[in-house]
Amino acid sequence: MSGNDTLLIAEGVSYRQDGQTILRDVGLRVAPGELVGLIGPNGAGKTTLLKVIGGLWSGAQGRITLADRPLARFPARDVAQIIAQVPQITALDFPFTVRQIVLMGRNPHLGRFEMETAHDRRIAEQAMKRTQTFTLADRLIGSLSGGERQRVLIARALTQEPRLLLLDEPTANLDIQHQLSLLELVQDLIRDGELGVVAAVHDLELAARFCNRLVLMHQGTVLAEGAPADVLIPGNLRAAYLVETQSYPDPITGHLRIAVISNGRNGTLP
């Protein structure tokens, strides 16, 4: 695929669960070489959208195409060879080493009883080196810090050799250093123009700093989409978060900063 191709197109996507509409007429486009940030308050539908476009949840209405082919026509195995997902919560309680965890990313490429080959191990090692986790290869996953675990999970996802990477709150529960380090890693991953990334990001300033485009969701719909400076404007943030804000470039870094002026409900901050 060339760098100008669109990896994924979602148009008019709606999704209901337990009688409730969670997504309503959502549109999304992702191209190779870009990081698209999903932002919005809790319950806006970000995680649901990631699961729907990733093929984990079926039954959505609308049109979703992956590499110019309807997503519904892909066998689950083929989807896993193209899309890799890193969920917000991953159970890692078993005594596996980092190397074993990362090698699990080769499962979509192996037969039911097929063992990993030297080729599979090389791909896993390359992914670990790219995510700076190779030195942790023989450590038990349970012994790692939160930031190290997130890098290992991204290494496992890269071992799938995906074209599209979906990240659900990848910086959740990480300190500032590890948040920056992780998002810098994601930026590095898309630099060659082959991989596209969609990430649900809670921190608006981090989203503005690292994402090429933002999709602001509110109550299951897309409220605004575009460049960070065009999305993170007072009217949009008031509608989505019920707060009064002012955006401005940081005088030192030039990155977009967001000052919360008041609570939009009553005009004051608690």
Half-sphere exposure of 7 toward its Cβ, with a 13 Å CA cutoff? 24
37-54 as b/e: b if 16+ CB within 10 A: bbbbeeebbbbbbbbbbb
Domain borders along the chain are 1-67+163-241, 94-160
- Over the chain (270 residues), the average pLDDT of each successive run of 10 is 71 94 97 97 96 93 93 92 88 86 95 89 96 96 91 96 96 90 94 94 96 97 97 96 94 94 65
Question: What pTM, to 2 d.p., does this model score?
Answer: 0.92
Q: Whats the size of the chain, residue-wise?
A: 270
Q: What is the pLDDT of residue 88?
A: 83
Q: What is the pLDDT of residue 181?
A: 93
Dihedral of the CA atoms 233, 236, 242, 243 (nearest 10)? 0
Q: Are 152 and 131 in contact (CB under 8 A)?
A: yes
Q: Which CATH number fits domain 1-67+163-241: 3.40.50.980, 3.40.50.2300, 3.20.20.70, 3.40.50.300?
A: 3.40.50.300
Residue 10 phi/psi, 5-degree rounding, is: -120, 125
Half-sphere exposure of 256 toward its Cβ, with a 13 Å CA cutoff? 21
